[in-house]
């Protein structure tokens, strides 16, 4: 059975050799908030959950108990980076000018993105 969120958070925090106080300060939270998270008396909002996942280099699915695997695959990292790229408001004008014909244009955009990131072989 999957550990509850609070236990996972506590285990990950301890792996980083951080006290609740240090961890709370790092994220700009009260120590009591971390304590309540670890006792499963409160839940973080989506933004904070994502920050925790990024900090510990685990998936939000792992933190939420949807999977027992704490590792993020390279494919998941690449997909997350690509989604951040296409949703970047500063780039919106550039890529949104592509015709709305769908998958082919998205494939072309992904190829460009891979070249920008040095992933093209």
Q: Which domain holds residue 24?
A: 5-63
The enclosing domain of 53 has a CATH number of: 1.10.260.40
Instruction: Tell me the pLDDT tens digit for each residue of 59-103.
Output: 888 898 887 766 655 566 666 666 676 666 666 555 555 545 567
Round to whole Å and give the CA distance between 33 and 42: 8
The answer to whether residue 121 sits within a structural domain is: no
- Say whether pLDDT at 121 is over 50: no
Phi-psi region of 40 (alpha: psi -120 to 50; beta: other; left: phi over 0): left
Q: Which of 18, 36, 63 is the last residue of a domain?
A: 63
Which tokens go with 33?
């908030």
Count of positions (residues) in the chain: 121
- Domains of the chain: total: 2
Which tokens go with 49?
């959950």
């Amino acid at each position: 059975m999957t550990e509850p969120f609070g236990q996972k958070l506590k285990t990950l925090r301890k792996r980083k050799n951080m006290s609740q106080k240090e961890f709370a300060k790092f994220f700009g939270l009260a120590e009591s908030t971390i304590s309540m998270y670890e006792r499963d008396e409160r839940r973080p909002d989506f933004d904070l959950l994502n920050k925790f996942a990024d900090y510990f280099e685990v998936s939000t699915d792992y933190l939420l108990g949807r999977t027992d695997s704490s590792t993020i695959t390279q494919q998941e990292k690449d997909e997350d980076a690509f989604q951040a790229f296409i949703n970047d408001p500063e780039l919106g004008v550039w890529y949104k000018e592509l015709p709305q014909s769908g998958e082919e244009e998205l494939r072309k955009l992904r190829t460009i993105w891979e070249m920008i990131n040095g992933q093209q072989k």
